[in-house]
Amino acid sequence: MIRVHILADNTVRKRGMIAEHGLSLWIEKDEKKILFDTGQSSVFYHNSKIIGINLEETDSIVISHGHYDHCGGLQYLPCRGKAPPIYVHPDAFIKKYISHSNQIIGAGLPFKIDDYKWLKNALVYTRQPLWIEKEILVSGEIPCSNTFEEVPENLYIEHEGEIINDMMLDEQMLIVEDNGEIAVFLGCSHPGIINSVKYAQNLIPDKRIKLLVAGMHLQNVSPIRLQMTIQHLMDINIKKIVPLHCTGFDAMCEMKRFLGKRCAILSVGDSIEV
C-alpha cells in the first residue's frame, strides 16, 4: 500500500493550510516514510503539523532537482541537527538561473549548503539509479528519448564563470514498487513527462504504473505538445494521474477532460491511497 500526502503545492482549499509555488510530498510505503521535495520555504513543515505528520519520522529525503521551489525548505527540516539520508544529484546545488521578464534571476538553492553542515553531511549523490530501500528506487539522470519534449530554454546554470543553458541533468524521479505495480513521483518533469515515464518503465519493466504524481511543466507548451502528451499518457494506461505544481491550470483541465476519473485534481492537504 502506498499513501501520499501533499504538503506543499501551488493551490490550497483547506482551512489553516498554506500554498506556495513549490512541491513537497509525504510518501508512505508500508512502514517506510519518504519526504519528496521540500517546497521553497517552511510551508511544508507548517502543513505537515496540521495534517498530523511527524517529519522527525522521515526515513529518507529525495530532492527531485535543484530549483528553489523544490529544495528551499531543506533548511527548515525539524531534524534537530541530524538529517536522514538526502538523495540528490551532484549537480543540484550548482548556481541556477531562470529568464523572467527579460531578466536572468537566481533559481537555485536559496541558501549555502556549506552553512548547514548537518544537511551537507546527509547528502547522498545519485547520478545513476539507486535502490534506497527494498522496492524504492531513485532514478538518477533521466534520458530524453522522444522528439517532441525539450528542456525549457529559459533555464540556465553557471559553468566555469559563464551562464549556459541548463539541460536539467540533475532532475530525477522516485519509483516505488507495490504489489506488482509501480508508482512514479516527479518534481517538474523538465526532461519531459513522457520521457520520464518511459524511463521508469525501462528501469522497472513489465509492471503497470498505478500512480503518477508529478509537476509536469506544461503551462506554456504548444497545443500540439500538450495533445501528444495526453495521448501518450492515455496509451500508457496509467491507473491514476495526479498533476500538480507547474503542470498549469489549462493542462490540468485538458487532462481531466480526456482522462476523466483517472485524473485527480488535488492540492495542499489532500491525500491519495493506492
121-153 pLDDT tens trace: 999 999 999 999 999 999 999 999 999 998 888
Domains of the chain, each with CATH number or no CATH: 2-273 (3.60.15.10)
Residue with cell 504524481: 213
219-258 pLDDT tens trace: 989 999 999 999 999 999 999 999 999 999 999 999 999 9
Determine the residue type at 27.
I
The confidence score (pLDDT) of residue 185 equals 99
Query: Mean pLDDT throughout 46-72?
Result: 97
Instruction: Write the burial class of residue 169 (CB in 10 Å: 0-12 exposed, 13-18 middle, 19+ buried).
Output: buried
Query: Mean pLDDT throughout 64-82?
Result: 93
Per-residue b or e along 131-147, where b marks 16 or more CB atoms closer than 10 Å to that residue's CB: ebeeebbbbbbbebeee
Percent of the chain with pLDDT over 90: 94
The confidence score (pLDDT) of residue 149 equals 96
Measured distance CA(46)–CA(12) in Å, rounded = 13
Q: How many CA atoms lie within 13 A of 56 on its CB side?
A: 5
The mean pLDDT of the chain is: 96
The confidence score (pLDDT) of residue 4 equals 98
Per-residue b or e along 184-204, where b marks 16 or more CB atoms closer than 10 Å to that residue's CB: bbbbbbbbbbbbbbbbbbebb
Is residue 81 over pLDDT 80?
Answer: no
Is residue 163 over pLDDT 90?
Answer: yes
Residue with cell 522522444: 146
The confidence score (pLDDT) of residue 152 equals 87
Query: Mean pLDDT throughout 19-33?
Result: 98
Query: Mean pLDDT throughout 161-181?
Result: 96
Is residue 79 over pLDDT 90?
Answer: no
Q: Which of 159, 161, 144, 166 is nearest to 98 (CA)?
A: 166
Query: Mean pLDDT throughout 32-58?
Result: 98
